[in-house]
Every structure is written in C-alpha cells, then in structure tokens.
Structure 1
Amino acid sequence: MTQDKTAIRNAATVIVLRDRLNDPHVLMGQRGATAAFMPNKFVFPGGAVDKEDAAIPLATQLQPICRDRLLEDVEQDLTHALSVAAIRELWEETGLILGQKGEWDMTPPADWESFAATGHVPAAHPLQFVFRAITPPGRPRRFDARFFMIDADEIASDLDDFDAACDELSHLQWIPLPKVREFDLPFITEVVLAEIAKRAHDLTPPDSVPFFKNNEEQNLFLRLKGVGPMTGRSH
C-alpha cells in the first residue's frame, strides 16, 4: 500500500549534549541536498516511528514525568514506541549506542540486527522529553515530532566514532552550543535550541514541555502540564 505522504507521522528526535556543565556541545549532521524534507539543513538525529518499534524490548523505561508528558494530547499511548524510535534513529544516523549490556529476549528485526550485535539492549531512562512540534500544513512531509534530550555520558560507545552510521546525515559533529546558530538550521530547530540552551545545566526533566501544535485550523504554542495556550503564531 502506498504511504500517504501528507499524513502526519509520529517521530522522535534526539538532542545529545556533551560536556553540558562546562562547555556544552550538541551533536548535529547535515541532510542531503536531494532530501524531500529539509534538504541541506543541519538537524538533530531523528525520524519516524516504525511499526516494529512498539515490540522492541527495553532494558529500562522512560522516567515517569516524561511518560506523563508524552501521554498528553494524544489518541494512543506511544511512549514505548517513541522511546525505541529515538534510540534506533540515534544508532542508524550516528552509530552511537544508547543501551545497556544484555541479551535480547527475541530475535531482533532487520533494523535492529546491527545494534543487537553490539551486545546491547536499548535503554530509555536517559531520554528526557523536552519539546514537541507538529509540522505545519503545506509541507512535503509532516511529523508529530517529540524531541528527547540525553546527556552524552549516557552513551555506551565512543562519542567520536560514527563509523556505524548510515549515510542519511553527513558532517556529523559536536557543535559548541553558542555557535550552532551559525549553521543552516530549520526554524523549529532554532526554537528547540533556544529551549535547550536554557536547560543545558539542568540535569532533571522539565516540569512542562513546549508544544507547537499546528493544524489546519490554528497554530498554537502550548505547554504540556503548563498554563495552556501562550500565543498563536504561524510558522
């Protein structure tokens, strides 16, 4: 069956912060010039949830506060699938492992064979849910993206070894947080980075999560578990 490219797909994006307390750097890469979505832009690793993600075992689960925020303004519980998608996309696009040493209790599907071969089981407890945004109408692809921040100290592999990465992102690099805006960024990435800059030195998950809710009727900037609509703005 042909996929409806106008449908809004659930997605997970991963923001990895390194040396966050002293000299914070963020991991980013550049999308290809021929990409249908955000060509040439520097972005965080991430992508759409796959149907297999809901069945992948996790060594550890999301923190309860993050799970609670993810359950707001949704039609179904996607907390497990989103956690798995974030870890899978990080592995596929950067070759970095977010997991714990252990044996799988199932035969890993094709997308997970290389990850499982490293001797790790994906672990979700380091993921902190920090932002949510729905791509505005009229774009070639639309996603309901949940942004997760993790501390690079939680990565189980060499932070400078990207050899296992696929070729979806080029120029993978750790960029000093104050210099990120010198790169060609999508609008929403700039918004998220502003939020991350405020939270770089805070190791706890946020009490409320910003949510750009774009649909055919209105554009709202909400706070999940916050005071509600803050401002209406168009992207």
Structure 2
Amino acid sequence: MPPVPVRDAATVILLRDGPEGPAVLVGRRGARAAFMPSKYVFPGGALDAGDAGLPLPAPDPGVSAVLGRQAGALCACAIRELWEETGQIIGRPGDWPDAPAGWRGFAATGHRPDPAALELVFRAVTPAGQPRRFDARFFVARAERLASDPDDFSRAEDELAHLHWAPMSRLDRLDLPEITRLALAELAARRADPDPGRPVPYFHGTRQAPMPPA
C-alpha cells in the first residue's frame, strides 16, 4: 500500500473570556468521518489551491518568520476553514467582486480576509498509519477580533456538530484527539508566559522535533 501523502493544513483556536474563565470554540466531527470520527476539534482543514495568491494584508511578522512563503496561503486557509465550518469571519469590511471559487460566500458578507488577528502557536504532523495525514499549523485568534457574532453559527456548513464555546477548565470532559490536547497545553503555557519570543512547538507524529526551515 502506498504511503498516505501529508497535506498542508491550518486550524484556528478561537479564544474568549467567559463566566467560567477562558473558553475555546470546538465542534464534533461526524461518526462516519474518515479522519478523527466523533472527536471534538477546532475548526480547520487542508490547504486549497485557491488559498494561495489572495490579495491579503501581511500576516503578523512572527507568523511570516516561521512559515515563510507559505504564511499568506496558510493564514487564508485558516480563515476560510473557520468561515466554512462555523460561519465566523476573520476579516475587514470591503468589497471583493472578483473573489475566487471557495471564497464567494465569504465575500458576500461584505468582508475580505485579514490575517492580522492570527498568531501561530503550534504545528503538528499526523502520525503514520492514519487514513489521512496533515501538516497542521494551529493559529489562535481572540473572539474580539471577529467581524461576526461569536454566538451565531447559522451560516456554518454541516461538517462540525455541537459547535459551542467550551471552558478550558472543562475540556477534559470532551473526547479530544491527543494532538488537540497538546495544542491546548501550549496555549495555556503561552497564556501563563506571554513571551513573544517563545518558540512554536513542532510535533512530528507523537514526538516533538526541531522546526523545519520555512
């Protein structure tokens, strides 16, 4: 059997303060999904060809420093996947009459994608042996930076069920993939020590490894 190819991907951890402390937006994958069935995950998915070359503002310098030439495309992927799976908008007001396929629903809201709200916090490659494999970059964004109502999921597609803001103090009650737990641990560590020079962890399979060059 040929090896499963590793696809570039991006994930968004939306974070906001709630009555029980910090909370993150999660949803449950379908029981018949080929990848991580029935698991609670953050919105995200694979890079599309249309994510490259979009007329985006520059990402955060820290994101560009780690991701290099792929920074814009991966930020676009994160914003698009968040929109598709939750109906939430990371963008700025603006007309976009020539939006490419895959972005026309986003453009119809009167916004253009803007990666300035995205901070890169984690990167991981799916272990071998899985039916699908991804090189996923995990971005975090504050709910206050959304250009949409953070409690309105009416425009979401049906890939994720039970979309809700889960308090981080109660996430251990959900069925989370191990890599999601590792990303959450890194997020908690960054909140405790918000050093802008903190390196982005990179997990290849189940082990931490040196970050490959951008």
Same fold (TM over 0.5): yes
Partner residue of 1:80?
72
Partner residue of 2:60?
63
Give the gaps of 5 or more residues in structure 1: 72-76, 226-235
Per the TM alignment, residue 197 of structure 1 is displaced from its structure 2 partner at its CA by 1.6
Once the two structures are superposed, the pairs formed by residues 28-47 of structure 1 within 5 Å of their partners are: 28-47=26-45
What is the letter of the counterpart of residue 33 of structure 1?
A
**Local SS of the residue matching 2:209:** strand
Once the two structures are superposed, the pairs formed by residues 11-160 of structure 1 within 5 Å of their partners are: 11-19=9-17, 23-58=21-56, 60-71=57-68, 77-104=69-96, 107-160=98-151
**Local SS of the residue matching 2:116:** coil
Per the TM alignment, residue 207 of structure 1 is displaced from its structure 2 partner at its CA by 2.7
What is the letter of the counterpart of residue 171 of structure 1?
H
Paired residues of 2:39 and 2:177 also in contact (CA < 8 A): yes
Per the TM alignment, residue 56 of structure 1 is displaced from its structure 2 partner at its CA by 2.1
TM-score in terms of structure 2 length = 0.91
**Local SS of the residue matching 2:37:** coil
Per the TM alignment, residue 86 of structure 1 is displaced from its structure 2 partner at its CA by 0.2
Give the gaps of 5 or more residues in structure 2: none
**Local SS of the residue matching 1:55:** coil
Per the TM alignment, residue 19 of structure 1 is displaced from its structure 2 partner at its CA by 1.4
Partner residue of 1:188?
179
**Local SS of the residue matching 1:87:** helix
Compared with structure 1, are the counterparts of its residues 18 and 187 closer, same or farther at alpha carbon in structure 2 (3 Å cutoff)? same
Per the TM alignment, residue 5 of structure 1 is displaced from its structure 2 partner at its CA by 8.2
Compared with structure 1, are the counterparts of its residues 210 and 70 closer, same or farther at alpha carbon in structure 2 (3 Å cutoff)? same
Paired residues of 2:12 and 2:141 also in contact (CA < 8 A): yes
Compared with structure 1, are the counterparts of its residues 191 and 125 closer, same or farther at alpha carbon in structure 2 (3 Å cutoff)? same
Paired residues of 1:94 and 1:164 also in contact (CA < 8 A): yes
Give the count of matched residue pairs.
211
**Local SS of the residue matching 1:16:** strand
Compared with structure 1, are the counterparts of its residues 204 and 162 closer, same or farther at alpha carbon in structure 2 (3 Å cutoff)? farther
Per the TM alignment, residue 49 of structure 1 is displaced from its structure 2 partner at its CA by 0.2
Paired residues of 2:84 and 2:156 also in contact (CA < 8 A): yes
State percent identity of aligned pairs: 51
CA distance in 2, matches of 1:190, 1:56: 32
What is the letter of the counterpart of residue 85 of structure 1?
C
Compared with structure 1, are the counterparts of its residues 173 and 206 closer, same or farther at alpha carbon in structure 2 (3 Å cutoff)? farther
CA distance in 1, matches of 2:135, 2:120: 13
CA distance in 2, matches of 1:7, 1:86: 20
TM-score in terms of structure 1 length = 0.84
**Local SS of the residue matching 1:125:** helix
CA distance in 1, matches of 2:210, 2:174: 28
**Local SS of the residue matching 1:199:** helix
Compared with structure 1, are the counterparts of its residues 145 and 178 closer, same or farther at alpha carbon in structure 2 (3 Å cutoff)? same
- The alignment's C-alpha RMSD in Å is 2.2
